[in-house]
Amino acid sequence: MSPQGLFPRATCLWLAVACAPAEPAVIGVAFQGLGVDAVAVARDELAEWTSPVHLTFDTTLMGDPADIEVARATHIAKTPGLAAVVGHGSSRGSLAAAPVYHDARIPQIVPTGTSRLLEQAGPWTFALAPNDSVEGAFIAEYVAGALAARTVTIFFVNDEYGVGLRDGVLAGLHARGVVVIDEVSVDPRSDFSVVVEASLQRGVPDVVVSGARWVETGAIARLFHARLPGTPVVAGDGALLMPDLAREVGDAASSLVVVSFWLPDAPDSLGHAFAERFRRVIGREPVGTHAMTHDAIMLAATAIREVGSNPDAVRQYLASLGIARSPYRGVTGPIAFTPGRRTNFVMTRLAGDGLVRVSDP
Amino acid sequence: MPVTRRAPSIRALVIVILVVAALHVAAIWAYLALGVTRGAAALVGETTPVLQVFEDLHHRADAMQGAVRLTVAPLPTDSAGRFARAAETRRRMAEVGGPTAALPFATVPPSMRVPLARASDELSRLQNILQEFAALLELGRVTDAARRHAQADSLMDRLHVYFGEAQEAGLRDLLSREGELSATASRAVVVLGWWFATGVMLLAIVFWLIRERVHRPLGEMEAGLRQVAAGELSTRLPVHRTDEMGRLATVFNQTTGVLRERAEQQGRYAAAGELMAGVAHEVNNPLMAIASLAELRLADPGLSPELRDDLDQVRAQARRAAKLLSGLLRFVRPSEGERTDVDLNGALGHALDLLSYRLPVEGVEVERVLAAALPAVRCDPTRMEQVFVNLVSNALDALRAIEPPKRLLVRTWAAGDRVYAAVSDNGPGVPDHVRERLFVPFVSGKDEGSGLGLYMSRQIVREADGELVYQPGGDGGALFVIRLPAVERPVAAPDRRPTPATGVPRPMPLAGLAVLVVDDEDSIRRVIGLYLERRGASVVAARDGSEALRRLEDATPDLILADLRMPIMSGTELYRALERDRPELVGRVVFLSGDLTQLAELGQNHGVPPERILAKPIDLAELERRILGVTGGEGRSDGERLATGPSTR
């Protein structure tokens, strides 16, 4: 080819590449069933954007073994055009998936995982929720303050979420002089009547704290309601899967309070708009997990819109929030991945299939 | 003509060599640091957690096995035993630790993550079962507790499987890394070999470049300089390239060209000087004859006034011409380089005398402000006179460019321990563009100047520990000031003894003195003989040295007045013959010659004292005075009278 012909052809090729429509950036979402609703709402909101952001969703199941989460993360990381991942559902799942995303150099935003180990998972992992020590301190403050408990029994799932929350609560209670009678690990297959009965033999607590999920928390609340009516059961955010928790706890709902990251009665405009959109799209009330997942998805989409679909640029954008950039304004409040960031815990109780803010124990 | 190739500069070449060398070193460093060291460090860094996990898994498996055994052993039925077994079970579980520690996902290879995750899940479940086992024991439900054994045992087996899978995966990963490290080491050997070979090749190229671009041209330059130092000014260097060495060679060739041109010019000057010396000798003799004859005639009291005036004019003009000639000869005579005490006034006067012929022609008024009793300076008098000639000559050249009045001012003065001499004029001064390079060789403000005058003048003054500086003159002209250190001893006062007035009868101071006059010029012999005889001496004449020797066989004179340049036997040959055959007469020889060059050699080569060396032309009265000085002021009454030979007249 003559040099005279090479230049125009190269110019045409460059123009063809430069003018080709940009491939939509992909955000992978790996979350439990609640995430489906959040993704639907996010899609509805993103449809109003001009920036092409595509969401791909992979449902996780509560209690999925870590190896399943690893395999799931490996599959998601191979998605073409993947710019960021929101997930996975639990602390254990998120921790198991984190090295996969780290190796693939894909930023991972964990919406609801609270394990403090997430903070050590590497520069590609960003935990949206406060860690378990912060949540544990919140619960301990409520138990020792509002409930004025002097003795406590802790039930927890024997994974990163439950162990982390247990440790956080223990630290908070010890600091306030509350005696912890017993620490019992459970899982959905546990013989709850046995472990509760044995625990009661070791001591009767003023308050029960549950660092477990909705199945374990419901069973424990029901058993304590039957044996010691009126004994308050305070559960961490991991139990908050509605309406499953309400169905599982049954009549014991009156003695159960649960930590939530957000409530739809939030007075700010963003929260109000999200709740309105959620009701319109899904047809029922959103809960804190919806809001957290929605914030994580929209944060990833905003990062892509701001800095492009390059995963490293997205990571740098996330790391710069609260430092070089203003915190992201999310439904659950300002979001920045800096130490000592603000937390928005709300203590709630069940009201039908929904939650209401606890104003008085 | 050899072709000069365009080539990058040596500076650029050196920079390129340094950059290439730096890149070569950096390349191997980067390879070792990034390709080998980092890989090895990563291997070590990733191996350590794998080994830690192995150790942790062993520990956990053992502890968990111990806890599970508690479910197998016969269960106590009594309350204390049951509670003790429950407590022991919990203790063993505490030893196992929580499931979190079994999830070092971020630090282990990906292949270990899945079995470790499964092991972690099973561990959680197993701990919960053991906890239920303990709880059932505490509740007294021993049978139910025993049933937990099967579940725990099954979970333990699965746990072992997962631990084993994790260990196997870790082992495979370690072996794979070891293989990678081994391959990396092999690659490093090959890369280092190539690196070394490349280095040797680069080194050879560098050596070749240095040889071609630096070493060889420097060698040629050195050889060329040696040839120039040996006087071979036609030396030329080949200009291979356009780089620095090529430019140096070009400058060298230009320099030798200039030097050769100057040398040719200097050679012509030297030849002219030699020619002038010869001509001067031939002119001095008639001048002396003219002046002396006039002087002899003037001694005749019977001369008419008109004739006396004419003879006065003849004598004065002959003396003037002789003085000018004498100055020229002194000026062109090669300097002996001997530093003596010099009167700057005298040197300045001689220079002005030498150039005096230009003054009336060019309408220049000379003002002399010369300090009386000026301290002497230590220098070569001839060369210092040359300095003044240069300065005055430059001033006269500058004054050509202006309209009258043209003024030349020469001054001398002393201040402190310094003696100063200044030459200034009211000419146009030195142009600004020349001023800064005024004393640089080959720089001239004149169209036809050699550019060496002021340079040499400054060198001469500096050799005398002085300095020559230029200052713009107060009236726009040029002012050159010479500063020299004064010597403590003042210059000997000139001999102010009055010359005997001509035409006045005088006593016979040379009475009784026998003089042998040896000169090939009849007129010289005649006038000297006449004068000396009139002054009382007895004179015998000889035409050359050999005749003089014959005369000496007959009688021994008190004084031998000998010319130098003579046919048959010169004055110098006569002197040598006397040294050899009549040494007692050597001290009576006085040389009188117009060849100043040969006169100077007498002192150097034969040790003849200066008072016995007389330069033509000379006043007869001065001749008489010098003869008296040599002979002690008296005629030799005891000397053997010379037999009067053939008439000198």
pLDDT in tens, B409-458: 999 999 889 999 999 998 888 888 778 788 877 666 666 666 677 888 88
**Cα–Cα distance, B212 to B214 (Å, whole number):** 6
How does strand B589-593 pair with strand B559-562?
parallel
Closest Cα to residue A232, out of A111, A308, A142, A107?
Answer: A142
Q: Which A residues 8-67 touch B at CB under 8 Å?
A: 65-67
**Cα–Cα distance, B15 to B25 (Å, whole number):** 15
- Tell whether A45 and A192 lie within a shared domain: no
Q: Which A residues 189-228 touch B at CB under 8 Å?
A: 189-191, 194-195, 197-199, 201-202
Alpha-carbon gap: A195 to the closest alpha carbon of chain B (Å): 6
> Residue A289: inside a domain, yes or no?
yes
Alpha-carbon gap: A29 to the closest alpha carbon of chain B (Å): 21
Report chain A's mean pLDDT, rounded to a whole number.
86
Span A245-284, pLDDT tens digits: 999 999 999 999 999 988 888 778 899 999 999 999 999 8
**Cα–Cα distance, A118 to A104 (Å, whole number):** 17
**Cα–Cα distance, A198 to B137 (Å, whole number):** 9
Tell me whether residues A67 and B132 touch, CB distance under 8 A: no
Confidence bin at B597 (pLDDT 50/70/90): low
Find chain A residues with C-beta within 8 A of B144's C-beta.
Answer: 194
CATH number of the domain where residue A151 is located: 3.40.50.2300
Query: In the prediction, which pLDDT does B117 show?
Result: 74
**Cα–Cα distance, A222 to A213 (Å, whole number):** 14
Under DSSP, is residue A85 helix (H, G, I), strand (E, B) or coil? strand
Mutation pick from B60, B85, B89, B100 vs chain A, by most beta carbons of A within 10 Å, is B100
- Tell whether A90 and A168 lie within a shared domain: no
Mean pLDDT across B115-130: 82
Mean pLDDT across B312-326: 81
Mutation pick from B82, B128, B161 vs chain A, by most beta carbons of A within 10 Å, is B128
Domain end position, chosen among A241, A260, A279:
A260
Across A91-95, A162-166, A254-258, B437-441, least confident range: B437-441
- Tell whether A160 and A212 lie within a shared domain: yes
**Cα–Cα distance, B373 to B485 (Å, whole number):** 15
Mean pLDDT across B326-355: 79
The CA dihedral of B583, B587, B593, B597, to the nearest 10 degrees, is 80
Tokens of B342: 């010099």
> Does the CB of A244 have a partner CB in chain B at under 8 Å?
no
Q: Answer with the residue of higher pLDDT: A163 or A143.
A: A143
Confidence bin at B402 (pLDDT 50/70/90): confident
Span B165-185, pLDDT tens digits: 888 888 888 888 888 888 888
The residues on B that touch A, with CB distances below 8 Å, are: 98-100, 103, 105-106, 110, 113-118, 120-121, 124-125, 127-128, 131-132, 134-136, 138-139, 141, 144
Find chain A residues with C-beta within 8 A of B105's C-beta.
Answer: 70, 95-96, 98-99
Find chain A residues with C-beta within 8 A of B161's C-beta.
Answer: none
- Tell whether A86 and A37 lie within a shared domain: yes
Mean pLDDT across B200-222: 92
Tell me whether residues B113 and A187 touch, CB distance under 8 A: no
The total of other beta-carbon atoms located within 10 Å of residue B405's CB is: 10
Alpha-carbon gap: B240 to the closest alpha carbon of chain A (Å): 38
- Report how far apart, in Å, the C-alpha atoms of B566 and of each of B325, B585, B593, B649 are: 20, 20, 10, 19
**Cα–Cα distance, B292 to B529 (Å, whole number):** 11
| Neighbouring residues of A91: CB distance < 8 A, sequence distance ≥ 6 | A110, A113, A114, A115, A117, A118, A132, A159, A160, A161, A164
Tell me whether residues B127 and A186 touch, CB distance under 8 A: no
Query: In the prediction, which pLDDT does A123 show?
Result: 92
Tell me whether residues B103 and A92 touch, CB distance under 8 A: yes
- Report how far apart, in Å, the C-alpha atoms of A55 and of each of A101, B136, B561 are: 17, 49, 134
> Residue A147: inside a domain, yes or no?
yes
**Cα–Cα distance, B279 to B283 (Å, whole number):** 6
Tell me whether residues B131 and A120 touch, CB distance under 8 A: no
String of DSSP letters for B50-76: HHHHHHHHHHHHHHHHHHHHHHHSPPP
**Cα–Cα distance, A229 to A215 (Å, whole number):** 20
Structural contact between residues B629 and B609, judged by C-beta atoms closer than 8 angstroms: no
**Cα–Cα distance, A194 to A196 (Å, whole number):** 6
- Tell whether A219 and A167 lie within a shared domain: yes
Residues spanned by the domain of A212: 132-260
Tell me whether residues B99 and A163 touch, CB distance under 8 A: yes
- Tell whether A243 and A284 lie within a shared domain: no
| Neighbouring residues of A283: CB distance < 8 A, sequence distance ≥ 6 | none
- Tell whether A170 and A243 lie within a shared domain: yes
Query: In the prediction, which pLDDT does A3 show?
Result: 46
> Does the CB of A103 have a partner CB in chain B at under 8 Å?
yes
**Cα–Cα distance, B36 to B415 (Å, whole number):** 82
Confidence bin at B102 (pLDDT 50/70/90): very low
Confidence bin at A195 (pLDDT 50/70/90): very high
> Residue A342: inside a domain, yes or no?
no
Mean pLDDT across A103-124: 88
- Report how far apart, in Å, the C-alpha atoms of B632 and of each of B507, B578, B615 are: 17, 21, 20
**Cα–Cα distance, B272 to A58 (Å, whole number):** 114
| Neighbouring residues of B22: CB distance < 8 A, sequence distance ≥ 6 | none
**Cα–Cα distance, B182 to B346 (Å, whole number):** 98
- Tell whether A111 and A144 lie within a shared domain: no
Structural contact between residues A361 and A146, judged by C-beta atoms closer than 8 angstroms: yes
- Tell whether A101 and A137 lie within a shared domain: no
> Residue A341: inside a domain, yes or no?
no
Mean pLDDT across A140-169: 92
How large a percentage of chain B has pLDDT more than 90?
20
**Cα–Cα distance, B320 to B326 (Å, whole number):** 10
Identical fold between B344-490 and B514-631: no
Alpha-carbon gap: A181 to the closest alpha carbon of chain B (Å): 15
* Chain A residue with Cα closest to B93: A185
Nearest by CB: B103 against A95, A157, A194: A95
> Residue A3: inside a domain, yes or no?
no
Tell me whether residues A121 and B120 touch, CB distance under 8 A: no
> Does the CB of A98 have a partner CB in chain B at under 8 Å?
yes
Span B563-593, pLDDT tens digits: 888 888 888 889 889 989 988 888 888 988 8
**Cα–Cα distance, B594 to B582 (Å, whole number):** 26
Q: Answer with the residue of higher pLDDT: B334 or B586.
A: B586
> Does the CB of A120 have a partner CB in chain B at under 8 Å?
yes
Q: Find residue A183's DSSP bridge partners.
A: A154
Find chain B residues with C-beta within 8 A of A88's C-beta.
Answer: none
Query: In the prediction, which pLDDT does B237 show?
Result: 92
- Tell whether A214 and A155 lie within a shared domain: yes
Domain end position, chosen among A260, A281, A296:
A260
| Neighbouring residues of B167: CB distance < 8 A, sequence distance ≥ 6 | B54, B57
**Cα–Cα distance, A215 to A237 (Å, whole number):** 13
CATH topology of domain B514-631: Rossmann fold (3.40.50)
Domain end position, chosen among A218, A236, A260:
A260
Looking at the structure of chain A, the number of domains it has is: 2
CATH number belonging to domain B344-490: 3.30.565.10
- Largest Cα span, chain A: 93
**Cα–Cα distance, B474 to A211 (Å, whole number):** 109
Tell me whether residues A163 and B118 touch, CB distance under 8 A: no
Find chain A residues with C-beta within 8 A of B138's C-beta.
Answer: 198, 201-202
Across A123-127, A318-322, B242-246, B317-321, least confident range: B317-321
Indicate the domain borders of chain B.
10-216, 344-490, 514-631
- Report how far apart, in Å, the C-alpha atoms of B421 and of each of B323, B363, B469 are: 24, 23, 11
Indicate whether B408 pLDDT > 60: yes
Task: Name the DSSP letter for residue A62.
Answer: T
Alpha-carbon gap: A108 to the closest alpha carbon of chain B (Å): 14
Q: Answer with the residue of higher pLDDT: B91 or B237.
A: B237
Tally C-beta pairs within 8 A across A and B: 96
Report chain B's mean pLDDT, rounded to a whole number.
82
Indicate whether A156 pLDDT > 90: yes
This complex has an ipTM of 0.78
Give rounded-to-5 percent helix, strand, coil for chain B: 60, 10, 25
